[in-house]
Amino acid sequence: MVHENLTTLREHLVSRKLALEHAAELIDVIGAISLASRSIAHKVRRARLADVLGEAGGDNVHGEAQQKLDVISNEVLLHCLRRCPSVGICASEEEDEAVPVRPLSDGGRFCVVYDPLDGSSNIDVAVSVGTIFSVLPNDDESVLQRGERQLAAGYVVYGSSVLMVLTLGEGVDLFVLDPDLGDFVLVQQGLQLPASRKIYSLNEAYRDDFPGGYQRYLDDAHAGGYSSRYIGSMVGDVHRTLLKGGVFLYPPTTQAPSGKLRLLYEGNPMAMLVEQAGGTATTGSGRIVEVEPAELHQRTPVILGSREEVARVLGHLQE
């Protein structure tokens, strides 16, 4: 008797008969991202052996030192997406500007935005890193769209196993890369966040720079017996929060009053996933996906996770 899970990512998406215009083409885009992420996973595993750890010698548009694997991962994703006939525009955290691939008139009906390797500075110490992505319609040939317009969002975790968490607007599914098959296979459908869990995740070293409401929340959490969990890569922290519950926070600070995480590449896709899993994702003053982006690399504060835990944070922010 065969016990292996043999439902591949593509087979699962095709079987769902998505009620979306151009669903087949959207599945092809997810397939291109899947192919790129399998290649990136291989390169991450061999990073030390291939001598591609450390900085690449330049800075990205944000003034941050690019890691060698940032550059490699960005090139892999762009290569795979350019070959997909329905991709019109790509936008990467590592690129200064959006990259036109083909006009809408030639079939480029989707925009794909992505953080090619979130948490890449952690590779040197073998901490989980990942790829975050979002697919948007290319109606007006611009990626500057509210997160509400996302057609698909997801991330890939490169850790002890390689996982893809994906939503196409109808729930959240979990896939694992089977190294024997060389493909992602379905392991869980309809992921749901617990409504509450006494866990918070943020870099508490910056506590003194947080606005007062966040400091009050931390005082409350300490008094209430909460556990603190913080990995330092958004993919790792949000993945744990999605599976275990709790709240992930990246507040504004005096040095970064608009927050640090990027709205298009990090905030919106993670917000879509969390909301589809029954959680809440907010900037502290409204839903992340309702923010109107004004620029490609716009930043945003992030509070996301279990409904009751996010409500608890907001209660302190509103005092």
CATH-assigned architecture of domain 199-317: 3-Layer(aba) Sandwich (3.40)
The rounded distance, in Å, linking the Cα atoms of 48 and 22 is 41
| Fold of the CATH domain 9-188 | Fructose-1,6-Bisphosphatase; Chain A, domain 1 (3.30.540)
pLDDT at 4: 63
Residue range 174-192: mean pLDDT, rounded: 95
The rounded distance, in Å, linking the Cα atoms of 267 and 258 is 13
Angle of helix 234-244 versus helix 268-276 axis, rounded to 10: 10
Residue range 192-211: mean pLDDT, rounded: 96
pLDDT at 88: 97
The rounded distance, in Å, linking the Cα atoms of 70 and 78 is 12
β-pair type (110-118, 55-59)? unpaired
Residue range 79-96: mean pLDDT, rounded: 96
pLDDT band at 284 (very low <50, low <70, confident <90, very high): very high
Residue range 253-260: mean pLDDT, rounded: 94
pLDDT at 49: 64
- Is there a contact between 227 and 244 (Cβ–Cβ < 8 Å)? no
Residue range 234-260: mean pLDDT, rounded: 96
Q: Is pLDDT above 90 for 33?
A: yes
Residue range 232-254: mean pLDDT, rounded: 96
Contacts of 191 (CB under 8 A, 6+ apart): 165, 171, 172, 173, 174, 242, 243, 277
Collapse the DSSP code of 23 into the 3-class scheme (helix H, G, I; strand E, B; otherwise coil) and give the result: helix
The rounded distance, in Å, linking the Cα atoms of 90 and 188 is 29
pLDDT at 1: 45
pTM reported for the whole predicted model:
0.93
Residue range 141-159: mean pLDDT, rounded: 96
Amino acid, res. 270: M
* Structure tokens that stand for 118 in this block: 């979130």
- Is there a contact between 225 and 198 (Cβ–Cβ < 8 Å)? yes
pLDDT band at 20 (very low <50, low <70, confident <90, very high): confident
pLDDT band at 53 (very low <50, low <70, confident <90, very high): low
pLDDT band at 32 (very low <50, low <70, confident <90, very high): very high
Beta pairing partners, 132: 115, 155
Q: Mean of the per-residue pLDDT values for the chain?
A: 92
Residue range 113-137: mean pLDDT, rounded: 89
Every domain of the chain with CATH number 3.40.190.80 lies at 199-317
Every domain of the chain with CATH number 3.30.540.10 lies at 9-188
